[in-house]
Amino acid sequence: MPKFSANLSLLYQDIAFLDRFAAAAKDGFGALEYLGPYTEPKEKVADALKANGLKQALFNVPSGDWAGGQRGIACLPDRIAEFRAGISLALDYAKALACPQVNVISGLVPKGSDLETLEKVLVENLKYAVQRTADAGVKLLIEPINLRDIPGFFLSTTNHAERILEKVASDNLYIQYDFYHMQIMQGDLIPTFIRLKDRIAHVQIADNPGRNEPGTGEINYGFVLSELDRLGYDGWVGCEYKPKADTSEGLGWMKPYRK
């Protein structure tokens, strides 16, 4: 049976961040994930998890000025110090929240930049980060993201992610496999999952087009979720979609998977 994690960066947007915890627990989620917990003191977040019987599945390492349009800093040559300082902050929160994994957002390709240089920066940053996270017992993840939603994103395919994994050469670096992004970029969702299974530490779901609830588009999530079970995937399934209307009312798709 899949275990679902509520992505609070897209679900329950009509209520305050910390109030989303109780709403997610009430709706049957067992864990939470989001872009970052950094606007709240870690003790407060830890208390809210505990009070609602929730686990922390994942969050991103600091990724630059998200509201200002930045989409990660890990490949940017002029942000290396900031990226590395962000790993310390992410690990502080991971410890306080007992979070087993953190995700790195690679960044946008700056106009006119040399892709080889960006790749080197990303690989060196990941080598640094993966050692720090391994020492803390936390997995490090990278996520390919589709180029229609984020034009110019540096890491957009699983082939590229595999190449980065090979270059970093650490058994603590994994892929975050977002079915929505990969449907847009590649299709062939389950064969790719099977091929990379041992290197995938977290999956996320949304339908296409629209990035709405499973069952609203072209991805057969009945099949996808039963395959995850059959293949022995025992991580969280991150519900990272934009609810068509009210989050709770739109959870009908989840009914067959609730005990």
Active site (catalytic) residues = 143, 240
The footprint of ligand LCNOYBR7 on residues 93-152 (CB under 6 A) is 103, 105, 143, 145
The footprint of ligand LCNOYBR7 on residues 189-218 (CB under 6 A) is 204
Residue 35's binding partner among ligand LCNOYBR7, Mg ion, none (Cβ under 5 to 8 angstroms by kind) is: ligand LCNOYBR7
Nearer to ligand LCNOYBR7, 39 or 112 (CB): 39
Nearer to ligand LCNOYBR7, 70 or 248 (CB): 70
Identified binder of ligand LCNOYBR7 from the candidate list 178, 212, 214, 228, rule CB under 6 A: 178
Residue 35 makes CB contacts below 8 A (sequence gap 6+) with 9, 59, 60, 63, 66
Give the pair of three-digit tokens for residue 167. Answer: 């270059």
Distance of CA 96 to the CA centre of its chain: 19
Comparing CA positions, the residue from 103, 114, 112, 110 lying closest to residue 145 is: 103
For residue 140, list its beta bridge partners: 102, 173
Beta carbons of 66 and 90 less than 8 angstroms apart: no
Strands (E), the chain: 3-7, 31-34, 55-60, 101-104, 139-142, 173-178, 200-205, 236-239
- Binding-residue total with ligand LCNOYBR7 (CB under 6 A): 10
Residue 207's binding partner among ligand LCNOYBR7, Mg ion, none (Cβ under 5 to 8 angstroms by kind) is: none
The footprint of ligand LCNOYBR7 on residues 48-77 (CB under 6 A) is 60
Which residues sit at the interface with ligand LCNOYBR7, rule CB under 6 A? 35, 60, 103, 105, 143, 145, 178, 181, 204, 240
